[in-house]
Chain A
Amino acid sequence: MTSLEIEPNTILVRYNVEKEKSMSPAEAAEELYPKDELIRPIAEAIFEGEEDDVVDGLQKAIDAGKDPIALIDDALMVGMGVVSKLYDEGVIFLPNVMMSADAMLEGIEFCKSKSSTAPVAKGKVVCHVAEGDVHDIGKSIVVALLRANGFDVVDLGRDVPVDEVVEAVKAEKPMMLTGTALMTTTMFAFKAVNDRLLEAGIKIPFQCGGGAVNQDFVSQYELGVYGEEAADAPKMAQAILEGKDLDALKKQFHTH
């Protein structure tokens, strides 16, 4: 090494260090947990991503007389709500959300196994990666965040032929469809999906995102709404629940 040295602050700014929230994730979560002593440990276990503790907590609550299906909304979703809120605020990062989502799904399965009635989800979303494209990590994140926010997701996987997307929408009747494409060569499949859906008289919001996709491209087809980051997917699903139509969604999400 030569004797060169620098004072880094003169040539770069670590904005992430400067902007970091003063509160630690555990402290922030502490403030948000529900008070009920049967529910709280479940919410905590969701936050920690501890599947076994989730199931233990649920069992205890059920033993104490709580209804398993009601626990999905009253405990699992509440815990996940803490996770989503802190992720949105930049206090926790994605892997925490993924682990919490895994734990929540396990919890939901457990609750279902303890009951004869089926839970009602907030709404159904179909997700896919464009035909010819195998880049599926962004899609997996979208799926996890949607599930974490209480939506029922039908995950068609990657490299999904246009026909299959259209068939799935017909069969599942979702409130919205998402598409991910990372290649300029594959994103054109979204237009084909759009046209086929319109032909069939289906007018659901089709949120499209992924590395190659941009707002200009998505604006070229009627059902398309651009999704810049994965967290926009649950936001849009929520907006649909609140009654926003395609134009209103475009207004909200087309920020460029």
Chain B
Amino acid sequence: MAINRYTKMAYASADDMIFGNATAPVKAGLGLEIGGGYTVPEVNYAPRPEAGATKEKLVEEYERITRDIMARMVQIGAPAVVLETEHVQQMTNNPTWGGEVAAAQKAIMEDYHDEYGIKCALRHTPGDIREDRDYLQLRGDKYDVLMESFEEVASNGADLLSIETMGGKEVSDYAILRNDIAGMLFAIGYLGTTDMDMIWQDITKIAKKNNVISAGDTDCSEANTAMFIAGGLLDKNLAHTLAIIARAISAARSLAAYEAGAVGPGKDCGYENTIVKSIAGVPIAQEGKTSTCAHSDVMGNLVMQCCDLWSNESVEYHGEFGGTTVQCWSESLAYDCALMNVALETGNAKVLRDMMVLSDKYRDPQGYILAYDNAYKVGEAIVKDANDIYLRAKNAAVECVNLLTNADPKLQMTRFEKNALKDAKEALDGLTDDTDQFVSDCLETYKAEVKVFRPENYDL
């Protein structure tokens, strides 16, 4: 399978982008069309720690979770739902465990579909187990186990295949804590994309063979790490202007999945997905105010702007006053989707979209750049040098910096954020446009500075 880089935008203008609609919708699972004119809740969950003890316990736990969600969805009249099972490590390390869980979940979903006609699909996200204690081990034995895991879930009922890959993380962890823009570009833009090119061609092969969907990835391991370290308004661990530069770069990385054959929906925690959608037109999952059970962010409404699936990221399965956690959160998601679907139905979608955007566009530099109008511009910067994975990532960073430097005065930034931005601009201005030069400089630097960096992970 080949890599086909995107050289054009999927949408003629940013304003054409809207929730519930993708230029390339995806049919999946039991009667579902994602991005085909309506939004759908995507529920995420984690088993209680005790349930991981044996395979039997784990399968039972997921059966309970699945039944709870499906029951609540029909109780409130939700027309459609997606379930995402993010593997706990032992499920990926023992591929047949993942397969058995998928089969058990799918059987329950089929029963509900048969009885009520509820449209549904099951996403499985094996863990990226490609590391040993000290090093990433992206190629080799663990890769084979990971692929076996995909094969098992795909052949046992999973409709959508995803992963949160870790390529580039060892360098990114180092760079992010040191305001090192070149390191972020090398880690996320170059190393990350290189790994994505490899793994997504193989996942797509498995998906095709099993007639299921090669869905997509997220730069959780890098851009979300930056976002979490940046934290809330008062945290002082990382400038939010740098976190959003990492995010802009990450769009060029997440895009690579679709260039290697994935078709969407992209993963929920990829806050870069609006940028990706502007380029690839694939449906995307997003999370925000509904994922406060898992983490905090500063753009809880804004990220709904162009979502096709609306998710809660992850919640541990246990009881709440209103039912089990998965029931409470699936219900919240379903009502959000109902509201978006009403807006679509009544011709008010753009108004609702823009209200959600304005809620958070000026809250923080991150929301400002991810607002679809600016996200689109970052997308344009990426496709300009589509075929050079370094230059396109650099373009994204440069565009992000320019947009912030010339931002609407309604976006107030602290002096600290502005200084970090200025330093980032200087660093970017000082970078070469010669990709080979950049890569060889970085190899030398990070081999020396990052003990755990192993170029052979990237065939370098």
Contact = CB atoms under 8 A, between A and B. Distances in A.
B350 A2 contact: yes
Identify the interface centre among B14, B225, B239, B415: most chain A CB within 10 Å of its CB. Answer: B415
A180 to B, nearest CB: 14
Nearest to B373: A1
A97 to B, nearest CB: 9
A229 B236 CA distance: 11
Interface in B340-381: 350-351, 354-355, 358-363, 373
B10 to A, nearest CB: 18
Given A95-B177, A98-B177, A14 B238 contact: no
Interface footprint category on A? 35 or more
Interface stretch (A116-124, A133-141, A190-198, A238-246): A133-141
B441 interface: no
A11 B177 contact: no
A90 B354 CA distance: 35
Interface footprint category on B? 35 or more
B15 interface: yes
A17 B236 contact: no
A89 to B, nearest CB: 10
B414 interface: yes
A20 B229 CA distance: 19
B177 A137 contact: yes
Nearest to A15: B233
B57 interface: no
B412 A94 contact: no
Contacts of B209: none
Nearest to A161: B133
Contacts of B238: 93-95
Interface string A6-19: 11100110111101
Contacts of B360: 12
B208 interface: no
Contacts of A184: 49, 316
A94 B239 CA distance: 9
A19 B236 CA distance: 13
A4 B351 contact: yes
A92 B362 CA distance: 23
B358 A185 contact: no
Interface string A137-179: 1001100100000000000011100000000000000000000
Contact of B88 (A5, A90, A157, A185): A185
Contacts of B94: none
Interface string B189-200: 000000000000
A15 B414 CA distance: 10
A87 interface: yes
Interface string B167-195: 00000010001110000000000000000
B124 to A, nearest CB: 19
Contact of B173 (A95, A137, A144): A137
Identify the interface centre among B14, B178, B236, B360: most chain A CB within 10 Å of its CB. Answer: B236
B36 to A, nearest CB: 24
Nearest to B134: A157
B79 interface: no
11 contacts: A1-B354, A1-B373, A4-B358, A14-B233, A15-B233, A20-B415, A94-B177, A94-B237, A98-B178, A140-B177, A185-B52
Interface of B: 14-15, 49, 52, 88-89, 131, 133-134, 173, 177-179, 225, 229, 233-234, 236-239, 242, 316, 350-351, 354-355, 358-363, 373, 410, 412-416, 420
Given A141-B237, A158-B133, 18 more contacts: A1-B350, A4-B351, A4-B354, A6-B362, A14-B363, A14-B412, A19-B234, A20-B416, A24-B415, A87-B236, A93-B420, A94-B177, A94-B238, A137-B173, A140-B173, A140-B177, A144-B177, A185-B52
